[in-house]
Structure 1
Amino acid sequence: MIVIADGGSTKTNWCLINEAGRKIHFNTEGYNPYFSRTDYIVESLKKSLPDHLEADKLTEVYYYGAGCSTDALKKIVADAMGQVFVNAAIFIGHDLLASCRALLGDEPGFAAILGTGTNSCLYNGNDISLNIDSLGYFLGDEGSGCFIGKRILGDYMKGYMPKGLRESFYDNFALTNEDIFDHIYNKPLPNRFCAGFSKFLYDFKDNYEDYAFSTVEYAFTAFFENLVIHYPNYKDYSLNCVGSVGYSFRDILSIVADRYEMGVGKIIRSPIDDLVDYHMQPARKVSL
Structure 2
Amino acid sequence: MIVIADGGSTKTNWCLINEAGRKIYFNTEGYNPYFSKTEYIVKSLNETLPDHLEKEKLTGVYYYGAGCSTPANKKIVADAMVQVFTNAEIFVGHDLLASCRALLGNEPGFAAILGTGTNSCLYDGNDITLNIDSLGYFLGDEGSGSFIGKRILSDYMKGYMPKGLREAFYDNYALTNEDIFDNIYNKPLPNRFCASFSKFLYDFKDNYEDYAFATIDYAFTAFFEALVIHYPNYKDHKLNCVGSVGYSFRDILSIVADRYEMGVGKIIRSPIDDLVHYHLELAPKG
TM-score (norm 1): 0.98
1:110 paired residue number: 110
Distance (whole Å) between structure 2 residues aligned to residue 71 and residue 164 of structure 1:
48
User: Which residue in the other structure is 2:66 paired with?
Assistant: 66
Partner of 2:225: 225
What is the total number of aligned residue pairs between the two structures? 286
- The code of the aligned residue for 1:191 comes to N
Give the equivalent residue in structure 1 for 2:246: 246
In the TM superposition, residue 284 of structure 1 has moved relative to its aligned partner by 3.2
Paired residue type of 2:190: P
Q: Which residue of 2 aligns with 1:169?
A: 169
1:117-152 Cα deviation digits (max 9, x unpaired): 000000000000000000001000000000000000
CA distance in 2, matches of 1:282, 1:213: 39
For residues 111 and 136 of structure 1, what CA distance do their matches in structure 2 show? 17
2:192 is the counterpart of 1:192: yes
> Is residue 42–residue 81 contact of structure 2 (8 Å, CA) maintained in 1?
yes
CA distance in 2 between partners of 1:121 and 1:282 (Å): 20
Counterparts of 1:57 and 1:104 in 2: how far apart (Å)?
Answer: 31
CA shift digits 1:164-216 (9 cap, x unpaired): 00000000000000000000000000000000000000000000000000000
Distance apart, 1:282 and its partner CA: 6.7
Q: Distance in 1 between matches of 2:53 and 2:255?
A: 44
SS in 1 for 2:196: helix
Amino acid at match of 1:241: C
Task: Quote how far apart the aligned CAs of 1:31 are.
Answer: 0.3
Q: Contact 2:105–2:282 at 8 Å: present in 1 too?
A: no
Q: 1:261/1:36 Cα in 2 relative to 1: closer, same or farther (>3 Å)?
A: same
Match of 1:280 in 2: 280
- Per the alignment, in what secondary structure is the counterpart of residue 25 of structure 1? strand
CA distance in structure 1 between the aligned counterparts of 2:123 and 2:170, rounded to whole angstroms:
43
* Secondary structure of residue in 1 paired with 2:34: coil
AA at the equivalent of 1:208: Y
Cα distance change of structure 1 residues 176 and 282 upon mapping to structure 2, 3 Å threshold: closer
Equivalent residue, structure 1, for 2:143:
143
**Paired residues for 1:34-113 under 5 Å:** 34-113=34-113
Identity %: 87
In the aligned structure 1, how far is the partner of 2:101 from the partner of 2:280?
Answer: 12
- Partners of 2:238 and 2:264 within 8 A in 1: yes
Which structure 2 residue ranges, 5 or more long, are not aligned?
Answer: none
Per the TM alignment, residue 283 of structure 1 is displaced from its structure 2 partner at its CA by 7.0
In 2, the alpha carbon distance for the partners of 1:161 and 1:233 equals: 38
- Cα distance per residue 1:221-257 (max 9 Å; x no partner): 0000000000000000000000000000000000000
Aligned 8 A contact 2:12 2:29 in 1:
yes
- Cα displacement (A) at 1:285: 3.0
**Residue pair 2:149, 2:196 contacting (<8 A) in 1 also:** yes
RMSD value, Cα:
0.8
